[in-house]
Structure 1
């Protein structure tokens, strides 16, 4: 009954290698988009923002002046 002998230097290198590979995989999913995909994403974000701004309620009365909520009129 003897334990397996492990070279710590090799074990550290193996772990570092796997960590780098994991980070590279995450970066590929995050940053690995084509120019067309980036452009499409930006356009949809702009369109969504414009729609949201278009549906925003304003506190102005039809005459153009702002109504004071404490006024009571």
Structure 2
């Protein structure tokens, strides 16, 4: 004889598994704490500032001695 299955419980279990899967995906995508987000934001800000402060000018503006025509 076949095993008796309660379809209502199977349906609920399937829905719960789908919710758990979605929750796990969301934890991966959006699961950073406020401190982690602030740390990353601060690190990015410091890196950008460091790069801007230490940037070499590709075409420096001409000085008076350069425009004498020599």
RMSD of the TM alignment (CA)? 3.1
Give 1 or 2 for the bigger CA radius of gyration.
Answer: 2
Q: Which residue of 2 aligns with 1:9?
A: 8
For residue 39 of structure 1, report the CA deviation from its aligned partner. Answer: 1.0
Q: Deviations over 1:9-67 (max 9, x none)?
A: 3212101112212322333343341x322211111122334455567776535429xxx
* Higher-helix-fraction structure: 2
| Structure 1 unaligned residues grouped into runs of 5+ | 65-73
Off by >4 Å, runs of 4+ in structure 1: 51-59
Q: Larger RCO: Structure 1 or Structure 2 (Cα < 8 Å, ≥ 6 residues apart)?
A: 1
Q: TM-score, normalised by structure 1?
A: 0.49
| Structure 2 unaligned residues grouped into runs of 5+ | 64-70
Distance change >3 Å, CA 32–CA 60, structure 1 → 2: closer
